[in-house]
A and B are shown apart, each in its own frame.
Chain A
Amino acid sequence: MSIIVSAIGQGLIWGIVGIGLFLTFRILDFPDMTVEGTFPMGAAACVAAIYHGFSPLTATLIAFGVGMIAGFVTGILYTKGKIPVLLAGILVMTAAYSVNFRIMDRANLSLFDKPSLLTGKFMDSLPNYFNSVVLGLIFVTVVSLLIIYFLQTNLGQAFIATGDNPTMARSLGISTDAMQIMGLSVSNGLIALGGALVAQNNGFADVNMGIGVIVVALASIIIGEVVFGDLTMNERLIAVTIGSILYRFVILIVLKLGFNANDLNLISAIVLALFMMFPVFEKRFRIRQTLSRGLSKHD
């Protein structure tokens, strides 16, 4: 039971990372590699800030700000420096590795008995692992609502249009450069925020914890899309978090089969590849039709 609760908690927290990536990967149509650097950067900044005596909430917000700065740099390199976005992201990701060392002054930093958003009177009164569920639920709800509101504003619509058709967006007077920089900043801010929460949940930050993050976040997005099919923009955002929780269950099952934690990146990649190939399988084997036939009474 507790293992399932833990998976849900992790799924909710990682949902924030998925939503962050959704902004660039799905809306702007960018393969943004910066995330592999900003995720551990958020973790490092948060844990280091707690060490320096900041409150856990302040530390978490600092992580968000630090992530935004990294995303902003990628945005400037891409829009003003004319570096392809994939390479701009890889550059910032690589640089972030060194920065993260500097932030923590070492390769990893443990929270030990320091306070975090998962400690405190109320959190400690909850049954095991429920604190991560509560924390994840609060953050993912707030983030989802803010993004949903934003996407329905005039600025948000301009942001979506930029990803959909940049030529048209410019012809309507939308500064596509500004939209892309904004998208990369907010996206990486959210991913660093996710990193900060994961670090508090795990009790430590590590410079290597960013490896594979993009695959996990993509898996959340794609699983959500494959499971729910055609959705509106708002529903798609929520589907990301549900996809993130489902992904945790898949991992849970795989670990039960006898694989260990070191196999996780391999398994993540395979899970993502399978889900991404789903449309091909679907066409070939008519999966959806077979499924719906199996479920209807009359056939």
Chain B
Amino acid sequence: MTEPIFELKDIVVTVNQGTPEQINIMDHVNFAIYPGDFITILGSNGAGKSTLFNVIGGNIRVTSGQILLHNRDITNMSVERRTRFLSRVFQDPKMGTAPRMTVSENLLLSMKRGQHRGLGPRGLKQNMAQFKELTSVMNNGLEDRLNTATGKLSGGQRQALSFLMATIKRPEILLLDEHTAALDPQTSQELMNATNNQITTNHLTCLMITHHLDDALKYGNRLIVLDHGKITYDISGSEKDHLTKEELLGFFNEIES
């Protein structure tokens, strides 16, 4: 049995503590991520998908429980420190890039994710060739717009850039928060294909929130379903391969009823 990279142990997040509206938005969650996992995450609105990502990313303080990275306790580690092993792509194209900086400047920033940034020259020119090669993989014209401010890019190009920025320096864990949801179906599909290619060829460990049952079934080696702050379903390997949309839908109806 391989050691997990990352573990959540009995995590509880309580909001509105001490008021009648007190509720556990994360309810005694135990969850382990293993190297090479590509986990798709399903759940209705308010099920706790974003909360899960915010707990992993350190944006939310847990009420109780323990977070382990390679068996080391990082429960109270700051957002900035966690970026040393973690990267994230947001749903909103506006959130993942600096709009007034150019595509290449954004990529350069992301190369130093989680590292010390000093008073040495940034070295933009030395990296241009690499950036050109890297962006051409996305097949959406990004490589011709390296000197364009990202605010002038289309949503699809911005999300493709966000994805590249999250993976340019290999993260131990990659979080994709419905990163194709804000795009039109065609662009969304293209980005999803590119995403899957990158993750499988580079053996990245990745968690992906999605609303599409098809995507959740098609991609990844593991699928979890969240409901009311709990992981109600966790399936992987050949079991997941044989799962059908009907079975999954049936499972969802069970939750609803």
Contacts and interface: CB of A to CB of B under 8 A. Distances in A.
A and B associate: yes
Interface of A: 150, 152-158, 160-161, 164-165, 167-175
A153 B121 contact: yes
A273 to B, nearest CB: 25
B120 A164 contact: no
B129 interface: no
Contacts of A173: 80-81, 83-84, 112-115
B181 interface: no
Given A164-B99, A175-B80, A157 B119 contact: no
**Best-buried of B95, B109, B112 by chain A (most CB within 10 Å):** B109
Given A164-B101, A170-B83, 9 more contacts: A154-B118, A157-B108, A161-B109, A165-B97, A168-B96, A170-B79, A170-B80, A174-B80, A174-B117
B121 to A, nearest CB: 6
Contacts of A160: 98, 100-101
Chain B interface size range:
20 to 34
Contacts of B120: 153-154
Contact of A165 (B57, B83, B95, B118): B95
Contact of A172 (B90, B94, B110): B110
Contact of B122 (A153, A171, A172, A174): A153
A49 to B, nearest CB: 28
Interface of B: 57, 79-81, 83-84, 87-88, 90, 94-101, 105, 108-110, 112-115, 117-122, 165
B204 to A, nearest CB: 17
Contacts of A171: 57, 79, 83, 87-88, 90, 96
A167 B95 contact: yes
Contacts of A174: 80, 109, 117
Contact of B109 (A152, A157, A167, A175): A157
Contacts of B121: 152-153
B108 A165 contact: no
B109 A158 contact: yes
Nearest to B97: A168
20 contacts: A150-B119, A153-B120, A154-B119, A154-B122, A155-B119, A157-B101, A157-B105, A157-B109, A158-B109, A160-B101, A161-B109, A164-B101, A165-B97, A165-B99, A168-B95, A169-B98, A171-B87, A172-B110, A172-B114, A172-B165
B117 A165 contact: no
Contacts of B80: 170, 173-175
A155 B118 CA distance: 5
Contacts of B87: 171
A192 B115 CA distance: 33
Nearest to A162: B98
B117 A155 contact: yes
A169 B113 CA distance: 9
Contacts of A169: 98
Contacts of A164: 98-101
B95 A158 contact: no
The 9 tightest CB contacts between A and B, nearest first, are A173-B83, A164-B98, A173-B114, A154-B117, A165-B98, A158-B117, A172-B113, A161-B98, A153-B119
